[in-house]
Chains A and B, each alone.
Chain A
Amino acid sequence: MKMIKNSFNMSLMSRSSNESFARATVAAFATQLDPTIEEISDIKTAVSEAVTNCIVHAYDNTLGKIYISAEILDNNTIKIKIRDKGKGIENVEKAMEPLFTTVGGERAGLGFAVMMSFMDSVKVRSALGKGTSIIMTKKISRRYSVNG
């Protein structure tokens, strides 16, 4: 069991204007791990995908609540949980396949592919009619530099 060194949690309405707020908040929390610009960017992108999924899929563009929490673990890892109480995913395995999308049109179907590529681990739990939770972790490289 990893020790939790710090944590936060928040909930927000599933409005698309909150996408930038959500990723910026998690990124700001993650800065205490002294991540590189690339690592911060990876976290922001993964959070943006997960939150967009809640808005577009879980709540089908209706209003519901999105619950976001994050923990800093003692091995320099950030663990992020993004949860909704929306419609749930019928087939999680299929939903995680690249280019699979139920809405078509302007959605690329790459949300999970981005999360899996940019984070170290992504776990999805979903129950139809109850909601979905996504837990992602990323270990932040420790930077030791003679130049400070």
Chain B
Amino acid sequence: MATRQERSAGSATQPPAGPPPPSDRAMGRAGNAVARAAFTGASAGLLRMRELSVLIVVVALSIYFAVSNPAFASAQNAAVIASFTASAAIIAAGEVMLLVSGELDLSVGMTFAMTPFILLWAMDLGAPFIVALFVALAGAALVGVVNGVVTVGLGVHSFITTLGTLFLVHGVTLIISGSFPKPAPSKGFVTQVLGGWPWAQILWAIVIVIVMHAVLTGTRWGTYTIATGGNPTGASEAGIKIRRIKMRNFIACAVLGGFAGIVEGIHVTQSFDPNAGGNELMFTAIAAAVIGGTALAGGSGTVIGAFLGAVVLGVLRNGFTLQGISANTYFVILGVAIIASMVLNTQLSRFRREAKAG
């Protein structure tokens, strides 16, 4: 009884069977495929296409740099790219959840730097590493709680809230660290798991991306996150606790930021630096999310896209360095990439509307 038509459920990009085709006027020759995707899978299809297009950019850039500089395609260099990408990708996964629910976190780069010092503080008090790790992540979660309470509880825009906590957390970090880097813990099994193995950092990033992708696309939390950002009034009329969802995303973003900070310190620099991460990392993560196809307005986004966005930025930066092009040019390219991504986003959704109207 329930079996009919179910086969069509599997594929989001399959051409529609039922609706009248849009007029020739609205559907240009080149836009045919896009319009079809818009008709059936709509933004789910568009997001898949977006992930694919960013992946193509990654491959194209890699080929270009590999051809123009043999040093690019070495295992050693891959490790450099991986370590640049990993932290941004982990943080971007948290930012995607927040952006989709209609908020953002500017303070996460500072939480990234603070959390390792909480870890050290707990270890100085005699806590075993694993306990200290949880204390540190709880400290990061507290930043998320503050961001969430001020934003959803007191009604301050998250841009302002997290701008405030950005400075606040940075100040706290400088105070508890005495403004000097400290050596990161390097002994013990958990430390090895977190960052001791050569590819540990990027593996963590991949695991987190897979988990957060599953959360966003396959769980109630993710569905309610999309609902909260897409239609807050409708979501609460349906009984969804949108404040609770935003709160949870603020905490997730901060905890992921803190975790990334600990892994980076152990894995890359073997020291914890109070000036690590910061705003550049935070903006890189948000840029990765946007390049990957997450709408700043909320309601749609992809964790995998954000990961690929982070890889694009990592490859670009590394490739430019190898070519001897200055970091200044990298920033120019980064700026163009962000704006081009946003233009693509808005134009695609406009095209979608027109195809529908036509």
Please say whether chains A and B are actual partners in one complex.
no
